[in-house]
Amino acid sequence: MSYTLTGKHLIAGNWVAGDNTFQSEPAHGPANTFPVGTPALVDQAAKAAEDAFWTFGYSTREERAKFVNAIADEIDARGDEITEIGTQETGLPEARLQGERGRTVGQLRLFASHILDGAYLDRRYDEALPDRAPLPRPDLRLMQRPIGPVAVFGASNFPLAFSVAGGDTASALAAGCPVVVKGHSAHPGTGEIVAQAIDAAIKRCGVHPGVFSLIQGGKREVGQSLVQHPLIKAVGFTGSLGGGRALFDLCAARPEPIPFFGELGSVNPMFLLPAATKARGKALGAGWAGSLTMGAGQFCTNPGIAVVIDGPDADAFVASAKEALSGVAAQTMLTDGMAETYRAGAKRIAGTSGVKDVLTTTCDLRNATPYLFETTGENWLSNHELGEEVFGPLGLVVRVKDVAEMRAIAKSLEGQLTCTLHLDAADAADARSLLPILEHKAGRVLANGFPTGVEVSDAMVHGGPYPASTNFGATSVGTMAIRRFLRPVCYQNIPVDVLPADIA
């Protein structure tokens, strides 16, 4: 074992034990003991974050970029440790953990370069017009400023990229906001190693230690106390619809309501247009199977629904998908609970009126195997539960009569992270009729591809109308994610030698 754990929380630079503990439940390898979080620890961390904000929030962009890059360096320096404990805790293969670590440090470095550019500040200047009639205009300057301490909830399905130092933490720190992370109990050891990296970067850069805290484990009261703490000014969350909605409601019910940026769930439907299905239905079926089962289907962009016009071309698509799925072996899911929820979801779909089994399998313990079902467009429209996410490698084919019914299916959708069009040149008119509906329903619309795999870049949107996310104007991936933790401030007639350097 190459990694070394303290088995403690990190609260403002101090590794803190607790009276109560829990054990990790790894897919393989040793179980480790960690302390259980408490509301008292939340209070300590939030107060330290507030204290850190008065220096960190007003540090230079160069200082923050140096710190964020230092975190990336320290995570890379612990790469082998992270891979070792990450594979043990999650059951994910080494290549997946290594790739996710690359994405994590890439996000950090992207935000460092993003703030150095300065465009994110959205600076605006209205020059004073003292002689304007009938009233003079004052000197007005606008700039984005950090909002204060941010709470981040680690995600179960991304132990690195959406957890302790993931996109929420990276964008908040780049904005100038200290972060309090509630680690996910599915991978507490991985979370601690990453926290060790952040702690090392804090010491290396001389940053106020209150800029980051990690609280391990804890029951529901810990999450509740975190989002309700009066010093927390925003929350980043990736997780279940039920848990996220409960926290969202708590944020809204506070004496001072705060934004809750929750990414909650999506079935990510694909619409296969006629010419594309005829020309390459078999290839699309095989491609869908690969996307559907990637990482045991444990991606928030997993394309769980395929809408296709009924007929021989649809038959070829379904047969190809079934054949490809039949060859997929059992995969280890991230937790026992997620495996059980997946099996319950498959049972729910199978038991819904009007749903036909195409491929049924048997899985137990922490394993997942693919399921494939089909139904009609008419049945979909009359059964709302068919549009509810099943987190795992399960696909549902919706056979529709024509493109008009396909549009009806699109209009019936709840908010999605992604919607996909598979089209050839002859499908352009039908695609144009669908696109306005799909862009109204999803944060990302793609053509002739599969939505698993989210590029970290300036133009990416990872969010969408509820219930895909709780704030349709935000993204949790890409450089625009920083805007969640900023607010505009207008400076009127402030002397230049008093103004912040970035707006003077």
pLDDT single digits (tens) 464-473: 999 999 998 9
Q: Which residues of the chain have pLDDT under 70?
A: none
Record the tokens describing residue 464, joined without a space: 């969408």
Query: Model's pTM, two decimal places?
Result: 0.96
Answer for the pair 419, 407: CB distance below 8 angstroms, yes or no.
no
DSSP reduced 3-state for 272: strand
Rounded Cα distance, 380 and 185, in Å: 36
In the predicted model, what is the mean pLDDT of the chain? 96
Q: What is the pLDDT of residue 360?
A: 92
Indicate left, alpha or beta for 176 from its phi (over 0: left) and psi (-120 to 50: alpha): left
Q: What is the pLDDT of residue 35?
A: 96
Which residues are designated catalytic?
Answer: 263, 300
Instruction: Find the radius of gyration of the CA atoms of the chain.
Output: 24
Amino acid identity for residue 309 in this structure: I
Record the tokens describing residue 340, joined without a space: 């059980």
Q: What is the pLDDT of residue 369?
A: 96
Q: What is the pLDDT of residue 50?
A: 98
Alpha helices, DSSP H only, in 294-376? Answer: 312-326, 336-350
CA atoms within 13 A on the CB side of 38: 11
CA distances from 232 to 42, 192, 229 (A): 10, 22, 6
DSSP 196: H
Q: How far is CA 495 from the centre of its chain?
A: 42
Q: Are strands 14-16 and 9-11 parallel, antiparallel or unpaired?
A: antiparallel
Rounded Cα distance, 60 and 63, in Å: 5
